Amino acid sequence: MRHEFEGGTRVIDSLDLSVEAGSFVALVGPSGCGKSTLLRLVSGLEAPTAGTVSVVPAAVSSTATNAESDGKRVAFVFQDAHLLPWRTALDNVALPLELQGVAREEARRRARAPLRDVELDDALERYPDQLSGGMRMRVSIARALVTEPDLLRLDEPFAALDELSRQRLDERLRALWARRRMTVLFVTHALSEALFLSERVLVLSKRPARIVLDHAVQLPAARPLALRSELAFVEQSALLYRALEAHGGLDEARA
């Protein structure tokens, strides 16, 4: 697949990637390398300049190329929570169901479960401006989970949060994935977050993006927060770091 912006800037160059259903894949790379664009392409929000994007759900053999045509299978978590300020937490989570034609009361009923999953059952009727940044992000994740998606894409979801909130959300997300086993594509620029969360880390080069390292993470399935200080974790982190450095991923940070 190849993709250019209007005006001919090549963002993604001959990228060939397939992701196994039910796996947790993290994409890391320098800022502005095209990670977010890649997610938008996979979500069907943009069409690639050349090549194809196919989403093949595990249970169905036919290829659904247009994500919009099948709302149930897509879910997207943005860099910021992007909640509707005039809706409560519960109504925000119910929104995707309402848009798919589920009656309002039924949608509100079904929205309770994902809010429980992110431990927000005590904040159902609060409005976004009454919630902390971390809580808003959890509402945003609950909104993505409410349609029980086969594929969840997260675009640097915790980048704006403090380190502690971020690590706790990483832990929650990992637990949710372990329980539901949906396919997750997680874009981040934090190497340790990528390693902690995923089964596979793809390191991308600076623009135009191509894959410079495809790393299968060797860590136990159960991952406590303290794992980050263990030798296996640190060694793999160093491996990712070197790959990023070798392909210009740190140029911007140095400049």
> For residues 60 and 164, which CB has a smaller minimum distance to other proteins in the complex?
60
**Stretch near other proteins under the rule CB under 8 A, chosen from 3-11, 92-100, 202-210, 216-224:** 92-100
What's the Rg (C-alpha) of the chain?
18
Q: Is position 82 an interface residue for other proteins (rule: CB under 8 A)?
A: yes
Indicate which single residue of 56, 64, 95, 190 sits in contact with other proteins (rule: CB under 8 A).
95
Residues 48 and 25: their CA atoms lie apart, in Å, by 21
| CA-based nearest residue to 108, from 92, 123, 120, 121 | 92
Indicate which single residue of 36, 43, 205, 236 sits in contact with other proteins (rule: CB under 8 A).
43
Q: Is position 159 an interface residue for other proteins (rule: CB under 8 A)?
A: no
Q: How many residues of this chain interact with other proteins, rule: CB under 8 A?
A: 21
Q: Is position 133 an interface residue for other proteins (rule: CB under 8 A)?
A: no
Q: Is position 103 an interface residue for other proteins (rule: CB under 8 A)?
A: no
89-99 vs 133-145: helix axis angle to the nearest 10?
30
Q: Angle 228-121-172 (CA atoms, 0-180°, nearest 5)?
A: 15
Q: Is position 1 an interface residue for other proteins (rule: CB under 8 A)?
A: no
Asked if 29 and 40 count as a contact pair (C-beta separation under 8 A), the reply is no
Indicate which single residue of 1, 17, 21, 45 sits in contact with other proteins (rule: CB under 8 A).
45
Least CB distance to other proteins at residue 100 (A): 6
Residue for token pair 């401006």: 129
Asked if 220 and 232 count as a contact pair (C-beta separation under 8 A), the reply is no
Least CB distance to other proteins at residue 57 (A): 16
Give every strand in the sheet of 183-188, ordered side by side.
Answer: 74-77, 151-155, 183-188, 24-28, 200-204, 211-216
Q: Is position 158 an interface residue for other proteins (rule: CB under 8 A)?
A: no
Q: Is position 64 an interface residue for other proteins (rule: CB under 8 A)?
A: no
Q: Is position 86 an interface residue for other proteins (rule: CB under 8 A)?
A: yes
**Stretch near other proteins under the rule CB under 8 A, chosen from 42-50, 127-135, 178-186, 213-221:** 42-50
Burial class (CB in 10 A: 0-12, 13-18, 19+), 88: buried
Enumerate binding residues for other proteins (CB under 8 A): 43-45, 67-69, 71, 74-76, 78, 80, 82, 84, 86, 95-96, 98-100, 147
